[in-house]
Chains A and B, each alone.
Chain A
Amino acid sequence: MNFPLSFWDTSLLLAVTAIILLITSELVSPYYGKTNLIINKKRLRNIALAVSILFLITVAIRIFDIITSA
């Protein structure tokens, strides 16, 4: 009864989600005039950045892993 996804699977999921969120956040930005979408754009941008940082943390862990195992 273990969770079937590994740390790297989660990292991949975070990467894909981060890309989608960052692109969406940029497309609905008020600076481009796409203000018709009624969502909290500031929160969307924050969550996109948070997910991106989470993904970068997994990358940093991966790099640290490679360096220490060498």
Chain B
Amino acid sequence: MHRVRISLIHAAITAMLTLGATAILTSIAYASSVLAFIGLGLVFWGAILLYIRPEEYTKKVLLDAALSPSLTTLNEMIQEFAYKGDAIYLPPKYFAHPGTTKIYVSKRKDASLPTPEEIQKLQNQPVARTTQGLLLTPPGIHMARLLEKSLGTSFIVMDLENLQQKLPKCFIENLEIAENLEIQAENNRTGRKTDGTTSPLLMKNTTVHAKITKPIYENKSKETKDSRQSNALIGCPISSAIAIAITRAAGKPVRITDLKNSEDGNILEASYEIIEG
């Protein structure tokens, strides 16, 4: 037997609108200003409730439970294939389609970044994997698109300064992803050098720090040491979305250098490095 589910808020809205309309009609018939006030008030608040009624929400625990396995699989896959390099978020200039952003994980730790032509060749393969590197879709790609949709513009047309101003509003007010977001960019004049190599990964870089307070998604990967190490490479959907935003705005490859979760899970701190090519 089909069970009809009556939502409390819908029942309240219907009751308010019906009673309000009845009160207004009665007030006209009996010329009662009190009834008119009551009627107008009920209709007005009923209409407001109807307009501001909750959007479709899901419980936070469900979100955490649904996201964790796919992130774990991604990390396990990288570990299984023994890709030791950093996860580099590649800007759209590396791809044929301008809206594309992907993660490149190199096989060796200090390998240099491939050229856009090599990446496009790799992208066209059924499994975007070679002995040199692996191409992955970032976990925050859809969140980044949602942020762009909410901002009404693409990150590509923004610069880093613009991003620092607009992204917190989008995070806090528009999508309510977190209670607060602080983004700070700083230029590092000294680059890291080993063995005298001229790898692009080791040149002087710009660092971006993001502090996310009370994010909707709590990174559970801190439970085990291994998963934490892997997750620091790619990031959770929120930190990944910020990485995509930075790489698109800067037009340069970006890597997540640090990802810290507070003990209570209320503060997520991520550091990003813009790799100067």
- Where the two chains meet, the residues of A that have a C-beta atom closer than 8 Å to any C-beta of B are 1-5, 9-10, 13, 17, 21, 29-31, 33, 35, 38-44, 47
What residue of chain B has the Cβ atom nearest to residue A34's Cβ? B179
A13 near B173 (CB under 8 angstroms)? no
Q: Does B44 contact A (CB under 8 A)?
A: yes
A9 near B37 (CB under 8 angstroms)? yes
B27 near A4 (CB under 8 angstroms)? yes
User: Which of the four size classes fits the interface of chain B?
Assistant: 20 to 34
A39 near B54 (CB under 8 angstroms)? yes
- Where the two chains meet, the residues of B that have a C-beta atom closer than 8 Å to any C-beta of A are 27-29, 31-33, 35-37, 40-41, 44, 48, 51-55, 57, 172-174, 176, 179, 214
**Residues of the B chain whose Cβ atoms lie less than 8 Å from the Cβ of A1:** 28-29
What residue of chain B has the Cβ atom nearest to residue A17's Cβ? B44
B28 near A30 (CB under 8 angstroms)? no
For this complex, 12 residue pairs linking A to B, each with C-beta atoms less than 8 Å apart, are: A1-B29, A3-B27, A4-B27, A5-B36, A5-B37, A13-B41, A13-B44, A17-B44, A30-B176, A35-B179, A40-B53, A47-B51
A38 near B51 (CB under 8 angstroms)? no
A33 near B28 (CB under 8 angstroms)? no
B54 near A4 (CB under 8 angstroms)? no
Q: How long is the Cα–Cα vector from A44 to B48 in the complex, in angstroms?
A: 8
A27 to chain B, nearest CB (A): 14
A7 to chain B, nearest CB (A): 13
Q: How long is the Cα–Cα vector from A17 to B37 in the complex, in angstroms?
A: 12
**Residues of the B chain whose Cβ atoms lie less than 8 Å from the Cβ of A42:** 173-174
B33 near A2 (CB under 8 angstroms)? no
A52 to chain B, nearest CB (A): 13
